[in-house]
């Protein structure tokens, strides 16, 4: 497998996530698309770690390979924390306005 | 084509297809379920790359916990298909175009960078094994590991605090001039 | 005192100090102090000028260099003073007559409040400073500084009573007409610099051979344009009668004795250039004579005492230019001196009369003032004899010298010039004695209140009158022509070194000298004719009764000053005004203002449009973020 396949795949998922953020007005769907983007990045990182494992860099410096996967681990940690807080906010938003339309919150207008 | 390649393409197709489903389905629950399928596909990719630990963690944490949480919230809000307001047609179109442009730009950048031809080690490799990962985690990255536990603590506290129902005291409500 | 020339710089400095003290301290000084300071500095300057004059009389002349004024590449203009016969003579006239007028002003202006009183003396001192700079300068640029300064002070002093709109209009008119002349002067200076690389008198006059005839003619014509503006010749003379709006001592000092003679000084100083440009000399003579004639005709029918004197000044200046035009430089300077004496005397006398009449200036309401103001009357009479050219008064010698020179200048045109000059002299005698008779003789024609108020003026006014009268009588005796006393023309001998180059050129051209008999005949004609004219006027106007008859025919034209002002208004002023209005309405209001305001409006509009970006929608913000990242990527990766 060439790395460009994985890059292409990861970028495609990332862009799909972006399109989802831009297109949807439902706060929860937008949140999920953000998670999708994070996962795309994770995939890319893992692919790069294996790329280095196959190359000379990885032979000389084996920690490079595992560093990437540890990084992915921590991304997941942060994602989990972020989801919990984010969903709490969305629930509060629903309780106050009875809507989860993102455009409903336009107090920043002008 | 080797079995690896077939698996790769299959998983990729699954991932991208369900990602599209996420962003384009009208029902929220459908979106959540499609995202779960996406996560499964990505975990499949991880296994293909012999990152076993991450594959399992991905399924347990993401697909298992986070997505379930999403599902709970969606069901709590009682979202139906027709409660979501429609976005302006022009803005949706613009969004698609923007995303598409970004995709093309990054691909072009990658093509220019010329790194695309290196091979990726699949099916083999020690790096993804849980023993090696554990060693790296507890030898080099102990501090971030511990701090991440503090992060979880603060996230929990924050979530609870945000979710609390505030008791509105009539006296306080009147007295605050700069509320 | 050989070293008095070293303190020549004090002469203009003292009036400048007087200006600063009176100007800055005008709210703190008492009237007595202001008058004392103002007159005192002029007296000090006069004393120093007197010693300088003695030095020059002994043959010591000098060019003093103080500092480099302009120093650009090859052009070096220094702040230099030139002390020679011409400048020292003018120094005496300016400071001497100036001092008398300052003393006179302390009494004449006593009705003003202290700050305005001090302002008056400050301006007068500034004027004297500028005039001194003008005559002391050793190059055309320093002269020009003084030239501009006197123009400015003329404006300030004519418009002294600034609350009156008519007076300020007159002041503006004076200044603007002066400036038109100044343009000619400046162009001449630039021409100098481009052709000779210097503006110093010494350098320019020494290098006169390098200039072509066109150069010289052009430069001299331009210099003469400057002189017409400053010395009120055709066509730039209409400001002088209107300048009578200023206080009478100002009219005496500026518009009789000093500023208007600046043009003559300048031409006398540049005599070598003018002698080499016969065309210009022709122009000068004709314009001078025409001005003299025109002004004299107008003066015949004026009823305001100061206006008569103003037109008389214009007329006498015309005589001076006639003299310059025929090459009689000494004659011109001589007439400057005598004119300063008798004209200042008559203006001050008129001021005394106006003061006694409580501000009345119309001669038709005067009359019979002889018995109320004997000193004023007597001094005024002496002045009238002087200006009419009666021997042995000063005016006779100077005017006669000019007329004789005009006659001798050219075989064919000379007599014509002389004839017109003599006729003008007759008219001068007539209108001056008309003035005298209407004012001082006959019966009083004013109101009862005015009659009660009539009294002789205080000493501060009469003493300068007496001094000037004495000078008007004896002032001509330094210029007694050859035919009476051999070697009697002391002034000519004194000024000979200054006019030497011109004399050489004139001798080369073969100027003829009049025979003695011709001179006697010319003199006799002018004296007898003037005597007849003045007797006629005396008789006619001694028993003048005011009549309300409107002037008709020629009289109407003359009393309306040949409608010259109206002509200027129609041809020059009104078109310029409409052009200015057009520019104001179209360019200024629509163009420039539109542009400036338009910028403001554009900014407003665009900011309002841009503000719509902030619609508070989070999705919009995210969209813009993505766009931004896209742009950054593109720039970074591909550009």
Q: Is A93 within 8 Å of chain C by CB?
A: no
Gap between the terminal Cα atoms of chain A: 51
Residues pairing with C304 in the sheet:
C362
What is the ipTM, given to two decimal places? 0.87
What's the structural domain count of chain B?
A: 1
Q: Is A60 within 8 Å of chain C by CB?
A: no
pLDDT digit string, tens, across residues B71-85: 998 888 776 655 555
- Local confidence band at B169 (pLDDT 50, 70, 90 cut-offs): low
Task: Mark yes or no for CB contact B127/A36 under 8 Å.
Answer: no
Compare CB distances from C626 to A22, A106, A108 and report the shortest one's residue: A22
Final residue of a structural domain among C138, C153, C175? C138
Final residue of a structural domain among C112, C138, C164? C138
Which residues in chain B are closer than 8 Å to C619, comparing Cβ atoms? 87, 91
pLDDT tops 50 at residue C11: yes
Residues C85 and C197 in one domain: no
Instruction: Specify the pLDDT at position A34.
Output: 93
Q: Are C334 and C401 in contact (CB under 8 A)?
A: yes
Q: Which of A35-44, B137-146, C6-15 has the highest mean pLDDT?
A: A35-44
Instruction: Specify the pLDDT at position C6.
Output: 78
What's the structural domain count of chain C?
A: 3
Instruction: Specify the pLDDT at position B172.
Output: 52
* C411 vs B14, residue with greater confidence: B14
C-alpha closest to that of C29 among C91, C122, C102: C122
Task: Mark yes or no for CB contact A16/B99 under 8 Å.
Answer: yes
Alpha-helix runs per DSSP H in C137-209: 140-158, 165-196, 201-206
Q: C10-19, C348-357, C513-522: which range is least confident on average?
A: C513-522
Q: Are C154 and C178 in contact (CB under 8 A)?
A: yes
Instruction: Specify the pLDDT at position C565.
Output: 80
| Domain spans, chain A | 3-102
Q: Scanning the structure block, which residue is given the tokens 């007496």? A: C466
- Local confidence band at C406 (pLDDT 50, 70, 90 cut-offs): confident
The mean pLDDT value for C557-565 works out to: 79
In a domain, C398, yes or no: yes
pLDDT digit string, tens, across residues C222-275: 999 998 888 888 888 888 888 888 889 998 888 777 877 888 899 888 888 888
Q: A28-42, B145-159, B162-176, C119-133: which range is least confident on average?
A: B162-176
Q: Is A109 within 8 Å of chain C by CB?
A: yes
In a domain, C423, yes or no: yes
C-alpha closest to that of C387 among C354, C339, C351: C339
pLDDT digit string, tens, across residues A30-67: 899 999 999 999 999 999 888 888 777 666 777 778 88
In a domain, C528, yes or no: yes
Task: Mark yes or no for CB contact B137/A35 under 8 Å.
Answer: no
pLDDT digit string, tens, across residues B20-40: 999 888 888 899 999 999 999
> Min CA distance, C630 vs chain B (Å)?
6
Q: Tell whether domain A3-102 is in CATH 1.10.287.3510.
A: yes
Round to whole Å and give the CA distance between C376 and C111.
21
In a domain, B176, yes or no: no
In a domain, C165, yes or no: no
Binding partners of A (≥3 Cβ pairs within 8 A): B, C
Percent of chain C, pLDDT > 90? 14
| For testing contact with chain B, the best of C624, C625, C626 (most B CBs within 10 A) | C626
Assign 3-class secondary structure to chain A.
CEHHHHHHHHHHHHHHHHHHHHHCCEHHHHHHHHHHHHHHHHHHHHHHHHHHHHCHHHHHCCHHHHHHHHHHHHHHHHHHHHHHHHHHHHHHHHHHHCCCEHHHCCCCCC
Domain range for B139: 129-164
**C54 — alpha (psi -120 to 50), left (phi > 0) or beta?**
alpha
Q: Are C4 and C88 in contact (CB under 8 A)?
A: no
Phi and psi at residue C82, in whole multiples of 5°?
-115, 115
Residues C402 and C468 in one domain: yes
Q: How far is CA C109 from CA B27, B166, C95, C352, in A?
A: 103, 90, 20, 11
Task: Mark yes or no for CB contact B70/A32 under 8 Å.
Answer: yes
Q: Is C273 helix (H, G, I), strand (E, B) or coil?
A: helix
- Which residues does C138 contact at the CB level (< 8 Å), separation at least 6? C63, C64, C78, C80, C81, C82, C200, C201, C202
In a domain, B43, yes or no: no
pLDDT digit string, tens, across residues C319-358: 899 998 888 888 888 898 889 898 999 999 999 888 888 8
Instruction: Specify the pLDDT at position B18.
Output: 95
* C610 vs A74, residue with greater confidence: A74
For the stretch C236-266, what's the b/e string if a residue is b when 16 or more beta carbons lie within 10 angstroms of its beta carbon?
bbbbbbbbbbbbbbbbbbbbbbbbbbbbbbb
pLDDT tops 70 at residue B1: no
Q: Are C42 and C15 in contact (CB under 8 A)?
A: yes
Residues C379 and C477 in one domain: yes
Domain range for C94: 1-138
Residues C99 and C224 in one domain: no
In a domain, C428, yes or no: yes
pLDDT digit string, tens, across residues C88-146: 889 999 999 999 999 999 888 888 888 888 899 999 999 999 999 999 988 888 999 99
Residues, chain C: 639
Assign 3-class secondary structure to C500-532.
HHHHHHHHHHCCCCCCHHHHHHHHHHHHHHHHH
Task: Work out the mean pLDDT of chain C and round it to a whole number.
Answer: 85
The mean pLDDT value for C361-366 works out to: 83
Instruction: Specify the pLDDT at position C121.
Output: 92
Which residues in chain A are closer than 8 Å to C630, comparing Cβ atoms? none
- Local confidence band at C203 (pLDDT 50, 70, 90 cut-offs): confident
The mean pLDDT value for C204-212 works out to: 80
Instruction: Specify the pLDDT at position C231.
Output: 85
Q: C197-206, C380-389, C422-431: which range is least confident on average?
A: C197-206
- Local confidence band at B179 (pLDDT 50, 70, 90 cut-offs): very low
pLDDT tops 80 at residue B177: no
Q: Could you write out the DSSP letters of every residue in B52-69?
A: HHHHHHIIIIIIIIIHHH
Which residues in chain C are closer than 8 Å to B101, comparing Cβ atoms? 630
Q: Is B109 within 8 Å of chain C by CB?
A: yes
Using alpha carbons only, give the angle B41, B42, B45 rounded to the nearest 5 degrees.
Answer: 95
| A-C contacts (CB, under 8 Å) | 28
Percent of chain C, pLDDT > 70? 96
pLDDT tops 90 at residue A79: yes
Compare CB distances from B8 to A1, A19, A80 and report the shortest one's residue: A1
Q: Is C66 helix (H, G, I), strand (E, B) or coil?
A: strand
The mean pLDDT value for C67-80 works out to: 81
In a domain, B11, yes or no: no
Binding partners of C (≥3 Cβ pairs within 8 A): A, B
Structure tokens, C432: 């001056």
- Local confidence band at C2 (pLDDT 50, 70, 90 cut-offs): low
C-alpha closest to that of B120 among A52, A58, A56, A39: A52
Structure tokens, C199: 């503006």
Round to whole Å and give the CA distance between B38 and A5.
17
Round to whole Å and give the CA distance between A62 and A69.
12
Q: Is C62 exposed, middle or buried (0-12, 13-18, 19+ CB in 10 A)?
A: middle
Instruction: Specify the pLDDT at position B36.
Output: 94
pLDDT tops 80 at residue B120: no
């Amino acid at each position: 497998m060439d790395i460009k396949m994985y890059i292409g795949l990861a970028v495609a998922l990332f862009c799909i996530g972006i399109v989802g953020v831009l297109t949807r007005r439902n706060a929860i769907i937008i949140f999920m698309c953000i998670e999708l983007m994070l996962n795309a990045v994770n995939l890319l990182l893992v692919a790069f770690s294996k790329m280095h494992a196959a190359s000379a860099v990885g032979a000389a410096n084996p920690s490079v390979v595992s560093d990437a996967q540890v990084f992915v681990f921590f991304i997941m940690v942060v994602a989990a924390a972020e989801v919990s807080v984010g969903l709490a906010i969305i629930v509060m938003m629903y309780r106050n306005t009875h809507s989860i339309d993102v455009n409903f919150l336009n107090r920043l207008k002008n | 084509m080797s079995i690896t390649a077939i698996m790769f393409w299959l998983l990729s197709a699954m991932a991208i297809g369900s990602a599209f489903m996420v962003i384009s389905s009208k029902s929220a629950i459908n979106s959540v379920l499609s995202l779960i399928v996406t996560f499964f596909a990505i975990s499949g990719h991880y296994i293909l790359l012999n990152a076993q630990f991450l594959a399992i963690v991905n399924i347990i944490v993401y697909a298992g916990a986070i997505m379930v949480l999403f599902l709970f919230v969606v069901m709590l809000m009682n979202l139906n298909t027709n409660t979501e307001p429609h976005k302006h047609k022009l803005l949706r179109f613009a969004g698609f175009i923007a995303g598409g442009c970004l995709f093309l730009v990054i691909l072009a950048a990658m093509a220019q960078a010329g790194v695309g031809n290196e091979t990726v080690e699949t099916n083999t490799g020690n790096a993804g094994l849980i023993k090696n990962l554990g060693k790296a985690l507890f030898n080099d990255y102990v501090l971030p590991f511990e701090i991440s536990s503090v992060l979880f603590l603060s996230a929990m506290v924050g979530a609870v605090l945000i979710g609390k129902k505030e008791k509105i005291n009539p006296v306080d409500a009147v007295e605050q001039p700069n509320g | 005192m050989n070293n008095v020339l070293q303190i020549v710089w004090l002469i203009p400095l003292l009036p400048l100090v007087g200006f600063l003290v009176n100007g800055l301290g005008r709210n703190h000084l008492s009237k007595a102090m202001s008058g004392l300071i103002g007159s005192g500095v002029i007296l000090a300057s006069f004393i120093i000028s007197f010693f300088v004059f003695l030095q020059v009389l002994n043959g010591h002349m000098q060019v003093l260099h103080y500092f480099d004024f302009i120093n650009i590449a090859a052009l070096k203009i220094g702040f230099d003073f030139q002390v020679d016969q011409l400048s020292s003579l003018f120094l005496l006239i300016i400071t001497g007559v100036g001092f008398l007028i300052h003393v006179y002003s302390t009494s004449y202006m006593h009705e003003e409040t202290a700050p305005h009183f001090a302002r008056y003396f400050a301006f007068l001192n500034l004027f004297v400073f500028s005039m001194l700079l003008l005559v002391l300068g050793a190059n055309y640029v320093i002269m020009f500084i003084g030239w501009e300064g006197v123009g400015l002070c003329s404006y300030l002093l004519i418009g002294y009573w600034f609350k009156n709109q008519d007076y300020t209009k007159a002041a503006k008119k004076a200044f603007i007409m002066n400036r038109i002349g100044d343009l000619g002067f400046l162009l001449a200076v630039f021409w100098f610099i481009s052709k000779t690389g210097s503006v110093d008198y010494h350098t320019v006059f020494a290098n006169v051979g390098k200039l072509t005839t066109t150069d010289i003619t052009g430069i001299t014509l331009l210099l003469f344009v400057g002189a017409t503006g400053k010395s009120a010749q055709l066509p730039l003379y209409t400001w002088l009668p209107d300048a009578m709006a200023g206080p009478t001592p100002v009219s005496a000092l500026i518009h009789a004795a000093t500023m208007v003679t600046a043009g003559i000084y300048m031409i006398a100083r540049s005599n070598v250039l003018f002698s080499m440009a016969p065309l210009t000399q022709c122009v000068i003579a004709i314009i001078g004579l025409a001005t003299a004639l025109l002004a004299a005709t107008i003066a015949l029918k004026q009823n305001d005492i100061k206006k008569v004197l103003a037109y008389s000044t214009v007329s006498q200046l015309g005589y001076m230019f006639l003299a310059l035009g025929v090459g009689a430089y000494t004659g011109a300077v001589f007439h400057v001196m005598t004119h300063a004496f008798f004209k200042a005397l008559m203006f001050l006398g008129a001021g005394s009369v106006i003061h006694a009449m409580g501000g009345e200036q119309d001669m038709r309401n005067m009359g019979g003032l002889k018995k109320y103001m004997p000193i004023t009357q007597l001094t005024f009479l002496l002045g009238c004899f002087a200006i009419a050219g009666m021997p042995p008064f000063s005016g006779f010698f100077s005017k006669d010298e000019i007329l004789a020179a005009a006659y001798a200048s050219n075989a064919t045109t000379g007599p014509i010039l002389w004839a017109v000059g003599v006729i003008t002299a007759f008219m001068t005698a007539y209108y001056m004695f008309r003035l005298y008779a209407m004012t001082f003789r006959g019966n009083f024609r004013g109101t009862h209140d005015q009659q009660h108020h009539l009294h002789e003026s205080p000493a501060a006014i009469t003493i300068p009158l007496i001094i000037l009268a004495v000078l008007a009588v004896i002032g001509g005796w330094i210029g007694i022509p050859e035919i009476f006393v051999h070697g009697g023309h002391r002034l000519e001998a004194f000024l000979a070194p200054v006019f030497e180059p011109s004399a050489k050129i004139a001798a080369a051209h073969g100027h003829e000298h009049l025979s003695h008999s011709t001179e006697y005949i010319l003199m006799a004609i002018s004296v007898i004719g003037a005597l007849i004219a003045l007797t006629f006027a005396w008789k006619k106007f001694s028993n003048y009764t005011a009549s309300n008859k409107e002037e008709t025919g020629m009289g109407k034209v003359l009393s309306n000053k040949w409608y010259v002002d109206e002509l200027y208004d129609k041809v020059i002023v009104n078109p310029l005004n409409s052009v200015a209005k057009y520019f104001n309405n179209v360019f200024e209001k629509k163009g420039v203002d539109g542009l400036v305001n338009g910028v403001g409006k554009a900014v407003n509009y665009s900011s309002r449009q841009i503000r719509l970006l902030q619609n508070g929608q989070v999705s919009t913000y995210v969209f813009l973020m993505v766009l931004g990242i896209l742009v950054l990527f593109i720039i970074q990766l591909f550009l």
